[in-house]
């Protein structure tokens, strides 16, 4: 029996990552892996065959990289193998400078073309770089700038699982309810809303752009501007609403528009599938993630990054019931399969493979 310790963090993003591990403890044990999630780096607590460190634990330390490296080296004394979980939101924002100190570096989503990691992107994301070059958007102050990937260490980089295996149904709940759910046995949605239900709202976009740097905000701001200018459609947009109204709008919407945020994948993607709406997102063909749910034209409608097909795509799906229902049904089926009993078996197999590579 191999002991695997996950040194995690009491935060939303880190909780998404450990959720399927908590869910599948018994099945992982049957595969020879005793997995324990801890929040304290005490040496007696982290003693393990394999120790995995959540990036959220050290996200505020990167202004002093030597502190990170020293901490990692101290932890490595208590394990045979050290794995770094990069839980940052986007395909960008990497910390490859940690590679010499770890055995594996696993990230939730990666650029398909790994060669792109040898260059820099404005705003540290491939899509913010696009808006900087295409629309001359600049940030007031520079953010983090990732170090290029050393090709000699590229073999250490692998693919973690994405947030969709977290508690997507519970993410919308009030904070006090989430705190309680943390102590309950993990579960995935059993009931999904049928895409065939009556849907009087043409599209839903309850997005905002507060708190983002210019290059990340531009994408959301421009999308909101263009969506607001589409005449003749019934839309649920802007402003905060109650949880019950939010859910009802999801169940009543033909389409859900889910823009990029700090990263490409968001909770709203999975909420759209849960509530049976067709998902419209910026094209995701540049990235690789697991499980592979984002299939352009099959599980979501891809919007070009320059927004040139945003209105035409919305109108096409609103007017073509068969097309949008099929898109919603296929997306829902893919997500549902990923969190099913069979999906959890695939997850366990994947986890074992990642720990053994």
Strands of the chain (E only): list them. Answer: 2-7, 33-38, 48-54, 79-86, 104-107, 109-111, 157-159, 201-205, 235-237, 253-257, 278-282, 287-289, 301-303
Look at residue 137 in the predicted model and tell me its pLDDT.
94
pLDDT at 235 over 80: yes
Distance between CA atoms of 281 and 283, rounded to whole angstroms?
Answer: 6
User: What tokens appear for 349 in the block?
Assistant: 């197999």
User: What tokens appear for 308 in the block?
Assistant: 């040139």
**pLDDT > 70 fraction of the chain, expressed in percent and rounded:** 100
Q: What angle do CA 234, 235, 238 make, to 5 degrees?
A: 155
Distance between CA atoms of 130 and 92, rounded to whole angstroms?
Answer: 13
Domains of the chain in sequence order: 2-165+341-356 (3.40.50), 189-338 (3.40.50.2000)
Q: What angle do CA 267, 88, 26 make, to 5 degrees?
A: 70
User: What digits encode the pLDDT tens for the residues 18-61?
Assistant: 999 999 999 999 999 999 999 988 877 889 999 999 999 999 99
Q: Residue 357: pLDDT band by 50, 70, 90 thresholds?
A: confident
Look at residue 101 in the predicted model and tell me its pLDDT.
97
User: What tokens appear for 165 in the block?
Assistant: 């295996």
Look at residue 276 in the predicted model and tell me its pLDDT.
98
Distance between CA atoms of 243 and 81, rounded to whole angstroms?
Answer: 43
Look at residue 289 in the predicted model and tell me its pLDDT.
97
Q: Residue 10: pLDDT band by 50, 70, 90 thresholds?
A: confident
User: What digits encode the pLDDT tens for the residues 23-34?
Assistant: 999 999 999 999
Distance between CA atoms of 127 and 123, rounded to whole angstroms?
Answer: 9
Look at residue 145 in the predicted model and tell me its pLDDT.
83
pLDDT at 319 over 80: yes
Q: Is 71 exposed, middle or buried (0-12, 13-18, 19+ CB in 10 A)?
A: middle
Look at residue 223 in the predicted model and tell me its pLDDT.
93
Using alpha carbons only, how large is the chain's radius of gyration in Å? 21
Distance between CA atoms of 31 and 25, rounded to whole angstroms?
Answer: 10
How high is the mean pLDDT of the chain? Answer: 94
Q: Residue 307: pLDDT band by 50, 70, 90 thresholds?
A: very high
Cα 3 to the chain's mean position, in Å?
A: 27
User: What digits encode the pLDDT tens for the residues 270-299?
Assistant: 999 999 999 999 999 999 999 999 999 999
Question: How many CB atoms lie under 10 A from the CB of residue 191?
Answer: 6
Q: Residue 175: pLDDT band by 50, 70, 90 thresholds?
A: confident
3 state SS of 320: coil
Look at residue 257 in the predicted model and tell me its pLDDT.
97
Question: pTM of the predicted model, to two decimals?
Answer: 0.94
Phi and psi (nearest 5°) for 245?
-70, -40
Q: At what angle do helices 267-274 and 243-252 cross, to 10 degrees?
A: 60
Residues in the chain: 357
pLDDT at 209 over 80: no
User: What digits encode the pLDDT tens for the residues 56-101?
Assistant: 999 999 989 999 999 999 999 999 999 999 999 999 999 999 999 9
3 state SS of 274: helix
The residue with greater pLDDT, 276 or 183, is 276
User: What tokens appear for 171 in the block?
Assistant: 């993410």
């Amino acid at each position: 029996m191999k002991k695997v310790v996950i040194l995690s963090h009491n935060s939303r993003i880190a909780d998404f990552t450990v959720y399927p591990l908590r869910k599948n403890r018994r099945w992982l044990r049957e595969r020879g892996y005793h997995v324990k999630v801890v929040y304290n780096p005490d040496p007696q607590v982290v003693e393990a065959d394999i120790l995995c460190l959540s990036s959220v634990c050290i996200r505020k330390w990167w202004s002093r990289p030597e502190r990170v490296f020293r901490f990692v080296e101290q932890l490595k004394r208590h394990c045979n193998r050290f794995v770094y979980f990069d839980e940052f939101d986007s395909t960008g924002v990497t910390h490859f400078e940690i590679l010499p100190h770890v055995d594996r570096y696993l990230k939730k989503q990666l650029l398909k073309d790994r060669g792109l990691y040898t260059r820099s992107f404005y705003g540290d994301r491939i899509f913010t770089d696009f808006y900087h070059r295409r629309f001359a958007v600049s940030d007031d102050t520079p953010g983090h700038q990732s170090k290029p990937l050393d090709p000699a260490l590229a073999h250490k980089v692998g693919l973690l699982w994405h947030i969709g295996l977290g508690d997507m149904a519970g993410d919308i709940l009030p904070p006090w309810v989430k705190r309680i759910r943390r102590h309950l046995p993990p579960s995935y949605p059993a009931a999904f809303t049928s895409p065939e239900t009556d849907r009087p709202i043409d599209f839903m976009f309850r997005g905002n752009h507060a708190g983002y740097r210019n290059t990340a905000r531009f994408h959301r701001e421009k999308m909101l501007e263009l969506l607001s200018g589409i005449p003749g459609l019934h839309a649920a947009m802007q402003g905060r609403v109650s949880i019950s109204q939010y859910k009802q709008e999801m169940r009543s919407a033909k389409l859900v528009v889910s823009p990029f945020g700090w990263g490409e994948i968001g909770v709203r993607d999975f909420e759209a599938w849960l509530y049976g709406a067709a998902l419209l997102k910026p094209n995701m063909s540049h990235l690789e993630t697991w499980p592979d749910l984002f299939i352009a034209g099959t599980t979501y409608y891809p919007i070009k990054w320059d927004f040139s097909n945003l209105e035409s795509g919305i109108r096409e799906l609103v007017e073509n019931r068969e097309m949008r229902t099929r898109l919603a049904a296929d997306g829902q089926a893919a997500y549902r399969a990923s969190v099913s009993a069979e999906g959890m078996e695939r997850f366990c197999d994947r986890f074992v493979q990642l720990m053994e590579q």
